[in-house]
Structure 1
Amino acid sequence: MNIHLTKSQTGLDGVSAAETVLSHVDGERGELIIAGEHVGRLAATSCFEGVTARLWNGASKTTLSEADVRASLGAARARAFARLPELLAATGSMGIVDGFRAAVAGLRAEHGLAHEATIVGAFPVIAGALVRRARGLDPVAPDPSASHAADTLRMLHGRAPETREVTALDAYLVTASDHGMNASTFTARVVASTQADLFAAVTAGYCALTGPLHGGAPEPVLEMLDAIGSRERIQPWVDAALAHGERMMGFGHRVYRVRDPRADVLKTAIEALASDGADLPFAGEVEAYIRSALRRKNPERPLETNVEFFTAILLDALAIPRQAFTPIFAVARAAGWTAHAREQQRTGRLIRPSSSYVGAMPAD
């Protein structure tokens, strides 16, 4: 007997694939909880190392402190830099997004060292080296004593970052560290459920992240803002785009039915960077007009601002090239991927969903 699924069910909407202590998304209430804390409070009171410790402790029942994670990530960045010639050799003439995938696939276990730190520590080293290679520059060696956010910026730009820059990127890393059973995290958990190692699981997670419906969305936000160009063009440009059925980049979400809670966290982080090229008043006017236009178009279920809108503005203000947005997203999400993969290995079983066959049956 064939069982036909609804359109929603074919996307696994509402289907619970795992029990987790790592994060919870409530789309109706616009709520994101990471490791037992609301994302807004977590971004205001913690740092990337702190939230990573919470995620890893929840996944593996360890008792790592923020200082433990900071030390292990600093050491892992140094080890990754020592292996950089080998890792970059696999990237050939690839661009930043594809080169990052190839280099990540070359990571391997280090004797006696936690896979989680090896992976999360290597990601900003690889991203920084690829960005600088694209600019015709040599990679910058990491500073193991620096925070993950500060060292990420340092390896990207070849200079010591300002405190406000570090604060802004750290808020982004915390906010993007985990987000429930999103496509890339689910991919990582599926691979981990086979008892493949964390390196395979995270490589698969990154591949899922590169899709335009997942991690590839921030860059088009900037392209939209570029196309609008000036305040006087906001209304006519948006009205014409909606009349032609075009999608407003940075609005709407598969899960959230109200405003994405991460949007306001990042908007707050951007305010301190407004003098560094982030035209927040202009972006704010664009956001406000698009929200009102979408409410007029669909008053019963208007699309709200999502995290991609302010992610694009924040990363652009930090002078991170658009081609590196997806790898920098991965720098943050690697904390969640490693935690979910480890939790799946520890508590889950092989993920093997069924399907609804709608093809032809044998004649006999």
Structure 2
Amino acid sequence: MIIHHSKSTWREKAKEVGEKLQPIAREVDKTGEYDPRALELLIESKLIAPILPEVYGGSGVCETECQDIMEEVCKANTSAGSMIACQLMAAYAFLSGASDDQKKLYLPKMAAGEIIGVPAITEKDAGSDVSAIQMTAVRDGDDYILDGEKTLISFYGIADIYVVFAKTNPEKKHKGISAFIVNSSNNGLELTYRYNKMGQRGMPTGSLQFRSCRIPAKDLIGSEGEGFKIAMELLNRSRILMASQAIGISMAAYEAAVDYATKRKTFGNSLSSHQVIAFKLADMAIGLKTARLAAQEAAIKYEKGENYLMDVAVAKVYASEVCQKIVNESLQIHGGIGYTTEYDIERLYRDSRIIELYGGASEIQRLVISRMILEDPKLM
């Protein structure tokens, strides 16, 4: 059974690239070492930041086409999908608050993959609660001096620039947060620790230490105090990407389950001939189809300029949680052999777990949804 989806040119292109990305995912998962080939493939195929407008050298794809790309890339290589997501999240910050000069300077190079960027928001005591960040940025003449630590930052040791969020006025709490462009070569920036992760091992992740990190004032994005708004906008929009990432993993797990169930023989018949297995496959198909529709609705509302905040929260929490169910059931269908590295399902199981956590954990999405429906019971 095939779960129907759009037949966009971008989906087909991403599928072709995915065929080259999949063996890299398998190799990297075993070695635990970053392999630049995945990023190089995304850059060569113009998939690293496809949603950027053509005026900045991007391909100008719409949100639904970007969803197609993310699904196919993540189906093959989850870490590669995270590379696209991180590059786009950094780009969203520029599109949301940067000056025309900043956009012209950075976005064309980001579209071409000449500059790799990533947001630096998370701290040890500030994850889903962005307002709790402690990093400071103090104005000193024509410069700002940044001090503090960021953790769980992607593209660790790879990124050329970080979009760093720090407090310029701590007394104002979230209204005192500002966003800055920090070059990775800055003498005040130190790579302090790389994490060994459960999954997505192709995306290096670590901690950054800023010690009297001096940057020019012109590298402030927007105005002082606009950082929280920029962070919320990039996080909200990125949840379409994360939902699509979960859908891509679900596609891979679902197709692996169907393939295994139709070929594996038990009691003289294929696994899929047993109703208990057939119903598992049916439930997986239902979840996958519903997750895709939820993500598409959020993407379409964004494209139309409509309020999409509830829709993207629903899509992110549902797609990530149904993904967990699908990979778990796929592993169950594979049986004991699925617990080994002989099959991809073991890697998919580990790669998928983080999606319920980053970009706003499922609990945060439910908080957003509950607040919105209680404020407007007719919202549904």
Name whichever structure is richer in strand by fraction: 2
* TM > 0.5: no
TM-score (norm 1): 0.30
